[in-house]
Amino acid sequence: MEKAQKIFGLVLLLCSFSVTAEMRINKIKYQGNETSQPSILNREIYIHEGDEFDEALVEKSRQAIMDLGLFKTVHLVLEKNKSNNTIDVIFVVKEKYYLLILPRLKVEDNEFFYGIQLKWDNIMGLNHRVRALVEDRGTTNGVDESRYSFRYSYPNINNKYYNLDFELQSANEVDEVDGVVDRQDDFFRVALSKWLNRTGRNRGWFAGGSALYQQRNNEDLINFENSDSVKAIALGVDVGYRNLNTFEYNRGGKAYGYKLDWSDELLGSETQYTKHLLYYKSYYRFDQLPFSNLNVQVKLGHSNNKILGESAFSLGSSDDLRGYENNRFNGNTLFVTNIEFMYPQPNKPIFRYVTFIDVGNTYDKLDDVLHDALNVGAGVGIRWKIRALVNIDLRADVGYGFTDDDYKFSFGTRHAF
């Protein structure tokens, strides 16, 4: 066998030999993918066996594999075959842990919630995902309160362009605002989308549709005759663009799109509404500060009616308007902008500091967006990237809500957006 020369690096460094224009790729190989199937990696890359060697496309392929979010690192190994003047390109991946079972504890307004949460990524090595939650929310007036959810994502059906996603949720909560009402909410949604590119690569333009069913049962625990129920059946449209990059310690790229949900009695629904949502988010990186980020998100939404008797949108949480109580603002129109600047601990970039400002409000009508004042929240926080797990970034924020003149602390296991 010919002696091969191996060169490692995130960026191709052909130090031991020069690549001529005539040199072609002989083999594309993977190492370290004990769980991940080669098919999901082949789909993302931009090179093929027999192609003329292109350093830029090889590096672009390495980054595309990293962008799956399944690996801690992706390195390159080049093996030059002197006998036929070809190169073997080897992608060496270091896989993350894909199964995570977490206890869930939450203290909110002197109430204690506990449960268990399941996160399972890259099922069967095909990038399928499961999210499940079981939560005990305590007891109110002798009624047990709980929440359950399950979601399964099946990307690239048969290694093609289509993606399937379905979700189930069930929760009950005792409402003591108007009497004593045990409110039971059930939700089911199924969605099918398509990547609008030739390979099914997980980036670029996409389009999809969905169907959802919601039902709310209101059981009046004092006067049973006042109990009622209402259901909503809706069809959805989701179109947009997504080109996000995953780096060792931070993110890059952008995503934007439009979502529509339409519910009408023609579908058998007992509530009618048309809900629109425009969104844009971008993660800016800097050449001189590669581990820093300027993250921006903008959302504009409107519904012509309430949904199951409640406003279509709410603001005030650890994800949208920090520094305020949960669901502090409610309405059928929404506008919110979030800006974050993240910068690393100099010697340990897995820890990053963040300063943020959130600006937004909800409104009864779309016209009110131009006239009513905006609510502002601002604060600081810290992020701890758990590189061994998929999409786990521990965070702690403290935000000040200028409208309410109050501080709120928030914690989580993922980014705000």
Express each pLDDT in 76-120 by its tens digit: 999 999 888 899 999 999 999 999 998 987 765 566 789 999 999
Mean local confidence (pLDDT), 175-201: 90
On whether both 58 and 104 belong to a single domain, the answer is: no
Task: Count the domains in the chain.
Answer: 3
- Which CB contacts under 8 angstroms, 24+ apart, belong to 226-231? 226/179, 230/270, 230/271, 230/308, 230/309, 231/269, 231/270, 231/271
Q: Is residue 15 part of a domain?
A: no
Q: Is residue 337 part of a domain?
A: yes
On whether both 317 and 269 belong to a single domain, the answer is: yes
Of 192, 217, 219, 220, the closest CA to residue 207 belongs to 192
Lowest mean pLDDT among 31-45, 211-225, 256-270: 211-225
> At which of 95, 115, 136 does a domain end?
95
Going 375 to 378 to 381 to 387, the CA torsion angle's sign is positive
* Residue 85: CATH number of its domain: 3.10.20.310
Going 77 to 160 to 213 to 332, the CA torsion angle's sign is positive
On whether both 303 and 210 belong to a single domain, the answer is: no
Q: Is residue 12 part of a domain?
A: no
On whether both 340 and 405 belong to a single domain, the answer is: yes
Q: What pLDDT sits at residue 109?
A: 54
Q: Is residue 233 part of a domain?
A: no
On whether both 197 and 251 belong to a single domain, the answer is: no
- pLDDT-derived band of residue 7, with 50, 70 and 90 as boundaries? very low
pLDDT tens readout for residues 256-291: 999 999 999 999 999 999 999 999 999 999 989 999
pLDDT tens readout for residues 289-348: 999 999 999 999 999 999 998 999 999 988 999 999 989 999 999 999 999 999 999 999
Q: Is residue 165 part of a domain?
A: yes
On whether both 111 and 64 belong to a single domain, the answer is: no
Q: Tell whether the model's pLDDT for residue 371 goes beyond 50.
A: yes
> At which of 160, 192, 226 does a domain end?
226
Q: What pLDDT sits at residue 104?
A: 84
Q: What pLDDT sits at residue 269?
A: 95
Q: Tell whether the model's pLDDT for residue 70 goes beyond 90.
A: yes
Which position has the higher pLDDT, 181 or 261? 261
* Residue 394: CATH number of its domain: 2.40.160.50
Q: Is residue 5 part of a domain?
A: no
Q: Is residue 13 part of a domain?
A: no
On whether both 85 and 101 belong to a single domain, the answer is: no
Q: What pLDDT sits at residue 142?
A: 81
On whether both 189 and 103 belong to a single domain, the answer is: yes
- Which CB contacts under 8 angstroms, 24+ apart, belong to 54-61? 55/12, 55/14, 55/19, 58/12, 58/89, 59/11, 59/12, 61/91
Mean local confidence (pLDDT), 206-224: 92
- Using alpha carbons, list the distances in angstroms from residue 113 to 105, 184, 365, 410: 6, 17, 35, 15
Expressed as residue numbers, the domain containing 86 is 24-95
Which position has the higher pLDDT, 21 or 164? 164
On whether both 312 and 405 belong to a single domain, the answer is: yes
Mean local confidence (pLDDT), 5-10: 38
On whether both 382 and 302 belong to a single domain, the answer is: yes
Q: Tell whether the model's pLDDT for residue 17 goes beyond 80.
A: no
Prediction pTM value:
0.88
CA pair distance 263, 212, nearest whole angstrom: 9
- pLDDT-derived band of residue 223, with 50, 70 and 90 as boundaries? confident
The position carrying tokens 């099922």 is: 123
Q: Tell whether the model's pLDDT for residue 13 goes beyond 60.
A: no
On whether both 117 and 82 belong to a single domain, the answer is: no
On whether both 404 and 316 belong to a single domain, the answer is: yes
> At which of 61, 77, 95 does a domain end?
95
Mean pLDDT, all residues of the chain: 91
Q: Is residue 1 part of a domain?
A: no
Mean local confidence (pLDDT), 216-242: 91
Q: What pLDDT sits at residue 1?
A: 36
